[in-house]
Amino acid sequence: MSRNTVIAAAFNNARWCDAVCRTHGHPGELTDALWLNRVEVPPFYPNVVTLTPEGEARQLEAISALTLPGRWGVKDSFATLDLAPLGFEALFSAQWIQFSSGRMAPTTASGARWVQVRDPAALAAWEVAWRGPQGPAPTHAVFRPGLLEDSGVGIFAAYHEDTLVAGAIAYRAEGVVGLSNTFFAESRAGVLRAELLGQLLAAFPGLPIVGYEHGDELAAWCALGFEPIGPLGVWLKKT
Which positions of the chain have pLDDT values less than 70? 1, 105-108, 134-139
Residues 78, 159 within the same domain: no
Query: pLDDT at position 103, please?
Result: 73
Domains of the chain: total: 2
Q: At residue 61, what is the residue type?
A: E
pLDDT reported for residue 108: 67
Q: Are residues 55 and 124 in the same domain?
A: no
CA–CA distance, 127 with 146 (Å, rounded to integer): 14
Q: Are 210 and 173 in contact (CB under 8 A)?
A: no
What string of DSSP letters covers 118-139?
A: -SHHHHHHHHHHHH-TTSPPPS
In a shared domain, residues 87 and 137: no
Note whether 38 and 119 are same-domain residues: no
pLDDT of residue 207: 95
pLDDT at 216: 94
The alpha helices in the chain, defined as continuous H runs, are: 3-23, 56-65, 120-131, 189-203, 215-223
In a domain, 127, yes or no: yes
Quickly list DSSP for 40-72: ---TT--SEEE--SS-HHHHHHHHHH---SS--
CA–CA separation, 26 and 100 (whole Å): 33
pLDDT tens digits, one per residue of 110-134: 789 999 999 999 999 999 999 987 6
Name which of 67, 32, 26, 65 is nearest 49 in CA terms. 32
Asked whether residue 180 is domain-assigned, the answer is yes
7 and 87 part of one domain: yes
Domain hosting residue 122, numbered range:
113-227
26: closest CA among 140, 123, 129? 140
In a shared domain, residues 82 and 118: no
Q: Taking each helix axis from N to C terminus, what angle separates 189-203 and 215-223, rounded to the nearest 10 degrees?
A: 60
CA distances from 141 to 42, 82, 166, 222 (A): 9, 33, 19, 31
Is residue 87 located within the same domain as residue 123?
Answer: no
Per-residue model confidence (pLDDT) at position 7: 96
18-36 pLDDT per residue, tens = 999 999 999 999 999 999 9
- Measure the CA–CA gap between 234 and 76, rounded to whole angstroms: 6
Residue 108 lies in a domain: no
Residues 140/124, Cβ–Cβ less than 8 Å: no
Give the mean pLDDT of the chain. Answer: 93
pLDDT score at 155: 98
CATH number of the structural domain spanning residue 123: 3.40.630.30
Q: Residue 42 in contact with residue 67, Cβ under 8 Å?
A: no
* Interstrand relation of 163-173 and 176-184 (parallel, antiparallel or unpaired): antiparallel
Q: Are 50 and 63 in contact (CB under 8 A)?
A: no
Predicted pLDDT at 1:
44
So what's the pLDDT on residue 170? 98
